[in-house]
Amino acid sequence: MDTAKRGKPFLLAVLLSLAPLATAADGDIQQRLDLAEQLRTSDPGRVAQLLEGLEAEPLAPPQQHQLGFLRAYLLAMRGRLEEAIALVDELRTSPYPETRIKVHLLLANMHESIKDFSAAYTYLYHALSAVGSVQDSALRANVYTVATQLNISAGSYQRAHEYALAIRDTSDQPRHVCISRALELHALVRLQNSYPPDLAEAAWQDCERADELLVAHTTRVYTAEADVQHSPRQVRDSMQQTLPALERIGFPYTIVKARYWLARAQLELGEPAAAQRLLEDVYRQAGELGDRKITSQALLFLARIYEQGGQAEQALDTYKAHIKSLNKYISEFSERNIAHHMAQTDYMENRNRMELLTSENELLQLEARVQRNEKLMSVAGGSVLIGFMLLVMIGLNRKKTQLDALASTDFLTQTYNRRYFTELVDRRLKEPKADNYYSLVIFDIDNFKIVNDQHGHAAGDEILRTLARVCHEHIRQEDILARIGGEEFALFLPGCAQTNAVQIADQCRRAIADTVVPCGDLNLSVTASFGVATTSLEVSSFEALFKQADDALYRSKGRGRNCINVAPWSPTTTCASV
């Protein structure tokens, strides 16, 4: 199968996932390998020649790994991702810890490109879990680079912005400063559909100085997204200057985006014939690359051009194709979002596990003290023995309670955390019960990033705590509430049919909207969007139920927020919103 037909743009994360490996072997060989590293984004043809000349050389093991990375990189640049994955996968068991991290980074990005999102985000958080032990600042910057790019892909733009800043906080190498500013620019455009002009200029200049020409020209593509409606002439001129350079470099994923924004600018400037020709090419190229977002957008604007040109039948067919493509993109985005949240939860749980280990060590020390005093207790008086044992039991029980809480609780909101909620609900779904139905409600706070940006994280935390408390007041005793993401919550309703689940969700929705949260001198209020899914006992898959509820939540976000959407449920229910 040609992976280029399924791949999604991976761009900057791949560009930095191959920092040079240190070696004490032959200097000339290492110089050629390092030269190939330096040229890989600006002159891939020259890199291919260098690698071909190195194939017959006697390479040390670290150099063999470096060569394998570079070969995989060139395959990825050409869209041959399955071949690249197979090549780099052989290095996952490398004896070099830093090599293993680099393998995780490259695999994360390429798996995301072929839409294997679960593997992609799992590899990413493997790398993030190990970044604290990395001494090489360049490699740490690479980890944050991939984290930025994949958080952008998952729609987590605020987190992506934080990782982008961490890149240049970690390394001041010219390449990393370039990448940091470029990705910061990308995250801000996606987060607020605007950007500081001085940041765009600094990104361009830094990337030129670092000789990262592909990244430099890509910054123009990022800004085009924010500028196309209010400055179409500027976008048209910029894309016409950028495209020849991109075509010389030969990176198809960025080329198709640049052509798309050029076509959009031409359309805004009243040049429909030129825009149509370009959009038809973009539609074909994006389809070959598997970029469903660009495919859907190209179809939408082609349909408008056909409609304005009086081609009613062709316009209707293209609108239908656009809707079909858009649904595929929405489904893909939802799958990516779920995979991202699950992997992020695993990452956070791993961090909590370190705290658990510390507490468990304290528990073991307490138990050891008990054992050391057993002999003393055996000769002590009965009342003394009983009193001491009671104190020991209280101490042990308190410590075990603390450990259980740490493993299952989100301490900010005092609700269950995602891992424990998932395990608990999955068990409940698989247990034989008399209840006829189970319902799952997923909801999150609308525009929560704006609240954090304008009022600070302390205000955001207070809103999360208040939201959890308010919802607890409007659910049944047997219902299970959990915080499963940054501003996202889930509510499991055993024995609750769809109609009753919607009623409970709407009670929570109204209560949230009516609640005023005091934050210092401010009184803040928020709303939340809800998705509801219901299943009978014949279906016991938590993953399927979660996806249905998450899809319904996504529709609520698209229909104005502060509402409830219900997942289609055969045979008696249809999609509805409150």
Query: Each residue of 19-47: pLDDT tens digit?
Result: 443 433 445 888 888 888 777 666 778 88
280 pLDDT more than 50: yes
State whether 355 and 260 are in the same domain.
no
State whether 79 and 137 are in the same domain.
yes
State whether 385 and 463 are in the same domain.
no
Most confident of 31-40, 514-523, 535-544: 514-523
**Least confident stretch, 74-78, 334-338, 382-386:** 382-386
Contacts of residue 368, defined as CB under 8 A and 6 or more positions apart, other chains included, come to none
Domain count, the chain: 3
Instruction: Give the residue from 338, 369, 392 where a domain finishes.
Output: 338
Distance CA 331, CA 502 (A): 23
CATH of the domain at 290: 1.25.40.10
Q: Among residues of the chain, what percentage have pLDDT more than 90?
A: 36
Most confident of 65-74, 284-293, 403-412: 284-293
State whether 321 and 197 are in the same domain.
yes
State whether 285 and 170 are in the same domain.
yes
**More confident: 317 or 158:** 317
State whether 15 and 154 are in the same domain.
yes
Alpha carbon distances (Å) from 484 to 410, 439, 501, 558: 9, 16, 19, 21
State whether 345 and 435 are in the same domain.
no
Q: What are phi and psi of 190, to 5 degrees?
A: -70, -35
Query: Each residue of 191-239: pLDDT tens digit?
Result: 888 999 999 999 999 999 999 889 999 999 999 999 999 999 999 999 9
Quick check: 564 and 509 in contact, CB under 8 A? yes
State whether 59 and 134 are in the same domain.
yes
How many CA atoms within 13 Å lie on the side-chain side of 326? Answer: 13
Distance CA 232, CA 226 (A): 10
Distance CA 417, CA 482 (A): 6
pTM, two decimals, is 0.58
State whether 36 and 132 are in the same domain.
yes
Q: What are phi and psi of 448, to 5 degrees?
A: -65, -30
- Specify the amino acid at residue 234: Q
State whether 349 and 425 are in the same domain.
no
State whether 300 and 253 are in the same domain.
yes
Give residue 409's pLDDT band: very low, low, confident or very high (50, 70, 90). confident
Query: Each residue of 116-132: pLDDT tens digit?
Result: 888 888 888 888 888 87
Instruction: Give the residue from 395, 410, 425 where a domain finishes.
Output: 410
State whether 449 and 404 are in the same domain.
no
Instruction: Give the residue from 338, 353, 373 where a domain finishes.
Output: 338
Mean pLDDT, the chain, as a whole number? 81
Domain that holds residue 101: 3-338
pLDDT of residue 314: 93
377 pLDDT more than 60: no
